[in-house]
Structures are given as C-alpha cells and as structure tokens.
Amino acid sequence: MTSATAPTFAETATWPGGGRPGPTTRAAERAYIRVLVVLDTAVLAVAILVGYVARFGDEQPSGSEIPYVVVAPALLLGWLISLRAMRCYDGRVIGYGADEYRRVSAASLRLAGGIAIVGYIVEFGVSRGFLAISFAVGTMGLEVARFAARKRLHRARDRGAGWSRKVLVVGDTAHVLELVHTLRREPYAGYQVVGACIPDALLAPVPQRLGDVPVVGSFRGIPAAATAIGADTVAVTASGELTAARLRRLGWQLENTGVDLVVAPALTDVAGPRIHTRPVAGLPLIHVEAPEFRGGRKLVKGLVDRSVSLVSLLLLLPLLVVIALAVSLDSRGPVLFRQIRVGQGGREFGVLKFRTMVVDADARLAELAARNETDGLMFKMRDDPRVTRVGRLLRKWSLDELPQLANVLLGQMSLVGPRPPLPSEVARYNGDVARRLLVKPGMTGLWQVSGRSDLSWEDGIRLDLYYVENWSLAADLTILWKTFGAVLRSRGAY
C-alpha cells in the first residue's frame, strides 16, 4: 500500500462523461472570463451612451475642458480597470455566491467616488448629470448581465457541461462521502468531484470507490493524485491524520501548481455573514454568531411585510375578484379555504387559500394515504383526484396562495419564511425540526425557489432550518426575486 497506487489507478479510471479530466477546466474558465469582459464592455459602452444622450440629447455639450469623445473612452477604460482591480474576474468568486455582485457594485461605487473627489479638487467641467446617469445605468446593467451569464452557466452545469472545478476530496471516508453529497446537492455551484484520497490505513491494494467516487491515493500522495486526475482544487475535510502541520505542508506542496487548496470545516449550513475568522496565536479561529430571532432587524422585517402585503392586496384586488368568481363557478363550496396551521412559537392560526379541492377533500384523505408521493410527514400527490379544474390551474401558478397576503398583514405570516406546517406534522417533530417554529412561516421561502413539491422531506427541512438560522433582509429580497422565476417555471407545483 504505497502512494504509487494513486497515479496508476487515476490513469486507468473511467470518468463520468467519458475520458479523464484534463487541462480543459482552466481553458473553460478563461473562456467564460473573456465572455464576461466582452459583456461588461458592451454594457458600459451602452450605459455611457445612454448617459450622454439623456443628458445632452441633440445639444452640443459646452463648458467641458475635455471633449466627450475623450471622456467616454476614458470612463469606459477606467471602469474596466476598476472591475479588474476589485477582482471581479477572479475565478474563485464568479459563477456562484453573492460576492461577485458585491464586487461589481463596489468597483462602480469606488470609481464614482474617486471621480467625484477628483472633480471637487480639480474642476474639469464634465457634466455631473452625465456621470450620474452613466453610473446608475452601468452599475445596474453590469449586475443584470452578470446574473444572465451566471444563469446560463448554471443551466450548463446542471446538464453536466459548462465550466466547473475538478475537485479532489481528502479526508476520512465518512466525511468524504458527506462532502461529496453536499457538493452534488447543488451542481450549479461548479464543484465536480473527480476523486478522493483517504488515510493510508484505509487504502486497499485494489482500486476502491466511495460510492461512485474513485479513491486515487492516500494522504502521502495528494499532490501527485491531483495532478494525475487533472484536479484543479483540493478540498480537505475532517480527518484525525490531517494535523495542522501536515495541512500546512500540503499548502506548500501545492504552491505554483495551479491547484487551489480549500478547507471544508465540519460546520455546515451556516451563511457567510454569521462567520468571522479571527487569527489567535497563529490559529484561524472561526467565530459563529448566534442566529437573530428578535431585535431591530426583525422589526424592520415585520414593517416591510405588512407594508408590502397591504399594497399588494390593493393592487391585486381585481385579480382576486376574478379568481374568486372562477372558483365559485367551477365547483360548489366556499371560495376561500381556511386551514389551521402552526406559526411562530407553536401558535395556531387559520391560513387562507383559494379553494382548489372539492369540499370533502379531508374526508377522502385516508383512502389516498397509500398513494402519498413524499417521504416525510406531508401528503403530496401529483395527480390528486380531489383537485378541481380551476384549482389545478391556480396551483400551477401559485395563485391559490394570494389570500395569504391577509395573513401577512395580520402578522401571522411573513412574506418569506419556512412552510407553515399542519398541527399533525408538528406533533411528530423532533427537537431539530421544531426549530422551524422560531420564526414566522412564509408565503414563499427557500423550499419554494428550490423545487417545492419535488423536494424530499429531508431537503425541505434542511432548507427551512437554513433560513431560520441565517435569515437576512437581503436574502429575503433574493428569495422574493427568485420566486417569480419559480412560479413561471411552475416546477414542483401540484
């Protein structure tokens, strides 16, 4: 059992998608970055043109010591340099996460601030209106363009194509399998596991696999294994044999190889804003802030919820009337369906929906229990015979949930939060799942934008608990934005 096993197996292994990973990952990454540069250049050129036309129209600019035929290219070049300086084309941040968007905004704001300071000190006569419009349109355009490029990349990654990092996972078998499962849960993140290295004591003299992941070596030959399988990232997870000294030495060995080293701590499902790294005595200690269940931000969230729900109810009133008429004409029974659900702190309330089922739906539930298509405490059935014709249409576009805006206005629900559970579900909760009740349930949430009824019970609970622990106003806005796309795709709606 020597480290020579790793390269030998790597050279003969069959990889998902055919062939062995090669140097194409870096080329694909550079190609994607070139696309971003071209896209950013086009967006900025249009923004500067819009700023010029909006400010001057058909008039001839006057009062500027520098002609705009020079100002416009200089502003475009300076903007691109600012994006580069803020590392907006760094492969480690593009394609996933919010850091890419933050850097793009920061680059634009810093450039605008720098120009404002220089313009205050040295009056060069460039129109403030032209600059303000250009920066407003350009910053928004950059964000939208990055979003569109990322969505296209994510769709390619979901198909097994597109630019993704080739990852060699290092650690004990249990932790390797857990990390592999976590990375594969979101393939659009761009981390494709191509091999694993496990402790020497667990390495067999014959080729091994952990699930469908080939074991390509032990801890003694990690750099060689990474090179042999074409990995560009080594992800280290927990293992008793990976001491601090050994991990530091691995970092030295990977220097100048083009292979990134990332460490995946045992801490999972904790959002970045709650994590702070503090170096103490040479140790990068990770400080995790406690979840926030009360305070000023909660008050702001409640105020936003009630304000938006009130305005939405007023604007949607004609649509609500039309839906109510359709429900009443389609089948006998009340227009609204009121069902007891459990809210924050275990308090029960009546959640409102447009009725989408026949009036005796609850009585017929027992005879359909054997046809339940979910693996948890909920009952879900794709072709439920109790659903009416109008109800099927309302469910497809989530229009049946619009009356819950009244629950939000009354303070019983939030716009964003976990799914409101039934009392029968709550009665079977264990200690972990009960944490869903620490916040108000929501009209939409991570479960809504991640597949709704297509999700397993376990994944739905995991997303709800993640939201409970890591909620923020910015995350709420992101979820609300994604909800529109989820509704239009009608994925998991039944």
Q: What is the pLDDT along the chain (494 residues), one digit of tens a residue?
A: 333 343 434 444 433 333 344 446 778 888 999 999 999 999 999 999 999 999 887 776 665 567 878 889 999 999 999 999 999 999 888 988 888 999 999 999 999 999 999 888 887 778 888 999 999 999 999 999 999 999 899 888 888 777 888 999 999 998 899 899 888 888 888 899 999 999 987 777 788 889 889 999 888 889 999 999 989 899 999 887 888 888 889 999 998 888 889 988 766 666 666 776 777 666 677 777 777 777 788 899 999 999 999 999 999 999 999 999 999 998 888 999 999 999 998 999 999 999 988 877 666 666 666 565 565 556 666 667 788 889 888 988 889 999 999 999 999 999 999 989 989 888 888 778 888 898 999 999 988 887 665 677 777 888 888 888 888 888 888 889 888 877 777 655 54
Instruction: Give the β-pairing of 191-198 and 213-218.
Output: parallel
Instruction: Give the β-pairing of 165-170 and 233-236.
Output: parallel
* Closest to 411 (Cα-Cα) out of 480, 482, 349: 349
H or E element in which residue 489 lies: helix 473-489
Q: Does residue 7 contact residue 207 with C-beta atoms inside 8 Å?
A: no
- Residues 319, 485: Cα–Cα separation, whole Å: 20
- Residues 445, 458: Cα–Cα separation, whole Å: 15
Residue 357 DSSP code? B
The token pair that represents 439 in the structure block = 């916040």
Q: Does residue 170 contact residue 203 with C-beta atoms inside 8 Å?
A: no
Instruction: Give the β-pairing of 165-170 and 191-198.
Output: parallel
pLDDT at 59: 74
What amino acid is encoded at 422 in this protein? L
- Residues 369, 380: Cα–Cα separation, whole Å: 9
* Closest to 42 (Cα-Cα) out of 34, 52, 30: 34
Q: Does residue 203 contact residue 215 with C-beta atoms inside 8 Å?
A: yes
Other Cβ atoms closer than 10 A to 345: 9
Q: Does residue 421 contact residue 342 with C-beta atoms inside 8 Å?
A: yes
Question: How far does CA 228 lie from the centroid of its chain?
Answer: 32
pLDDT at 369: 62
Q: Does residue 409 contact residue 309 with C-beta atoms inside 8 Å?
A: yes
Query: What are 217's strand-pairing partners?
Result: 197
Instruction: Give the β-pairing of 348-354 and 336-342.
Output: antiparallel
Query: What are the helix and strand counts (H, E) for the chain?
Result: 17, 12
**CATH class of the domain defined by 165-268:** alpha beta
What amino acid is encoded at 473 in this protein? L
- Residues 149, 127: Cα–Cα separation, whole Å: 32
Other Cβ atoms closer than 10 A to 465: 18
Query: Angle, nearest 10°, between helix axes 244-253 and 222-229?
Result: 40
Domain boundaries, the chain: 23-159, 165-268, 296-369+381-488
What amino acid is encoded at 381 in this protein? M
Residue 420 DSSP code? P
Three-class SS string for 206-244? Answer: CCEEECCEEEEEEHHHHHHHHHHHCCCEEEECCCCCCCH
pLDDT at 23: 46
